[in-house]
Amino acid sequence: MIAQPALGELRAALRGTVLAPGEPGYEDARQIFNAMIDSRPALIARCATAADVVACVGFAQAHGLDVSARGGGHNVSGKAVIDGGLMIDLSPMKACRIDPVRRTARAEPGLTLAEFDHDCQAFGLATTMGAISATGIAGLTLGGGFGWLCGKYGLACDNLLSVDIVTADGRLRTASPTEHPDLFWAVCGGGANFGVVTSFEFRLHEVGPVLGGGIVFPFAKAGRVLAFYDQFARGCPDELSVNAAVWTAADGAPVVGIAVAWCGALDLGARVLEPLRRFEAPLADMIAPMRYVDRQRTSDAFFPHGRRHYWKAGWQRRLGPDAIEVMVEFAARRPSPYTRLSLQQMHGAAARVPPSATAFAHRNDQWEVQILSQWQDTADDEPNIRWTRACHAALEPHLDRAVYVNNLGDDESDRVSEAYGSNYERLAAIKAVYDPANFFRSNQNVATPPR
Ligand SMILES: Cc1cc2nc3c(=O)[nH]c(=O)nc-3n(C[C@H](O)[C@H](O)[C@H](O)COP(=O)(O)OP(=O)(O)OC[C@H]3O[C@@H](n4cnc5c(N)ncnc54)[C@H](O)[C@@H]3O)c2cc1C
């Protein structure tokens, strides 16, 4: 419980609003994408500006409160919400200023991908973001951020030019390659360890209509389709990104599919995609020219807000026959029809950045093997979690010892060093400079001595 005078002090210090348990809006504000997360902050500060974030950090330090930062609230681990602490809710901060001449965006941390892409595309511009439009730009970028444009333009964090960030000492700093360069290096893929980012400056690129959509095959063809995927995706040009997945169609039938986005000249893209459209008779071929913002939304329906989620993932460079066999076998006995087994590609420009150039270490032509379990009822938690763990254990021998920090679960602190890889020690050293007491620890934490 926070005493009334202290609560009044925080309210007076903010342009935004403060919600305490029991107050109207509190229950909604603590909900995030993953319904498994039921944390109850002592206070939720719905920040309006960077100055509000400065006030929140000072207040939490003065009153010994733990903090979390909430961007889009999409991360499955639920670290955006903190039990008994101060949740610094950035979701009201949605300003986005595009400079079409310099081709840059100045974007606040409450923006979702849908909102950010919408504003950039008004000028025919975009930069790499993820593949589901309700995701927040903040958490995605801080952990790396890969999606349909990463082959051509690198990761979201590779397109960062600067950030404004409130550090643990309560100071608002600008970090860029020339100002606090060590801090800037760390936030480019080092997760949310170093402070609360109040503004992101991105480099943008001209992105016109894309060739997007996917091809669906019966599940009985899964082995052949995944083997084709391995060969087709590994050789593909930077302009193309290719994902694969096994899921359950609306009529209840299990299916396997390959989804694409081509961001180059459309006639050339059509030729590049020919082998994919010919190798096997599909149930449906939905590849067509489309607006980039529409491509960014085509998979949204598979991930509605409010289901229960338990995910595991890992990077992989080659999908051999043994791994395919495991995937097909586990896919055939998914306990929930909403669960997907996916392969999401990272390659090209994103893979050519040297591992030590940013905090995001895993720079390979690869895909992320994603076991994306989702279901509706609390009563189904146990079988779904059990199946996910078994599937991951069976796939693990076929994966690299490397994982994407943004898809680590709440119970995977033992894999955090795998996520940061060869950059872990440098990250820990920078953490010791900017946050020696580990004030920001509601994240995939770079360990420092506990407070
Ligand atoms: C359905 C779905 C699809 C996805 N698809 C992709 C994809 O295609 N590509 C991809 O790269 N990732 C993808 N992800 C993973 C995604 O990048 C992470 O979940 C990411 O953390 C979401 O960002 P957020 O702002 O919504 O998260 P939040 O849950 O709000 O935050 C995640 C973490 O970042 C911290 N944080 C948030 N904002 C700030 C800030 N401003 N300053 C400091 N710390 C902050 C939080 O405290 C928390 O630790 C997907 C996730 C989901 C659920």
Strands (E) located in 354-442: 366-375
Q: Which atom of ligand 1 is nearest to the CA of 145?
A: 11
- Is the whole model's pTM more than 0.85, yes or no? yes
Do 65 and 86 touch, CB atoms closer than 8 A? yes
Q: Which of 76, 87, 142 has most ligand 1 atoms within 8 Å of its beta carbon, as the pocket-test mutant? A: 142
Residue found by looking up tokens 């938690």 in the block: 381
Q: Which atom of ligand 1 is nearest to the CA of 75?
A: 19
**Distance from the alpha carbon of residue 443 to the mean position of ligand 1, in angstroms:** 10
Q: Which residues pair with 214 in a beta bridge?
A: 259
Could you give the 3-state DSSP secondary structure of residue 391? helix
Predicted confidence (pLDDT) per residue in 109-137, tens digit: 999 999 999 999 999 999 999 999 999 99
- Residues having CB closer than 6 A to ligand 1 are 33, 68-76, 79-80, 90, 109, 130-132, 135-136, 138-140, 142-143, 145-147, 192, 196-197, 303, 406-407, 442-443
Rounded to an integer, the average pLDDT of 410-429 is: 95
Sheet holding 160-166, edge to edge: 96-99, 104-107, 196-203, 160-166, 172-175
pLDDT at 5: 87
Q: Which of 135, 199, 307 has most ligand 1 atoms within 8 Å of its beta carbon, as the pocket-test mutant? A: 135
* pLDDT beyond 90 at 210: yes
If you average pLDDT over every residue of the chain, what do you get? Answer: 97
Q: Which atom of ligand 1 is nearest to the CA of 135?
A: 26
Between strands 196-203 and 160-166, the pairing is antiparallel
Q: Cα–Cα distance between 192 and 438 in angstroms, integer?
A: 12
Q: Which among 342, 407, 431 has a CA at the least distance from the CA of 79?
A: 407
Q: Which residues pair with 247 in a beta bridge?
A: 255
Q: Which of 67, 137, 140 has most ligand 1 atoms within 8 Å of its beta carbon, as the pocket-test mutant? A: 140
Do 419 and 408 touch, CB atoms closer than 8 A? yes
Do 179 and 173 touch, CB atoms closer than 8 A? yes
Q: Which of 63-67, 280-284, 374-378, 447-451 has the lowest average pLDDT? A: 447-451
Q: Cα–Cα distance between 180 and 171 in angstroms, integer?
A: 13
Could you give the 3-state DSSP secondary structure of residue 167? coil
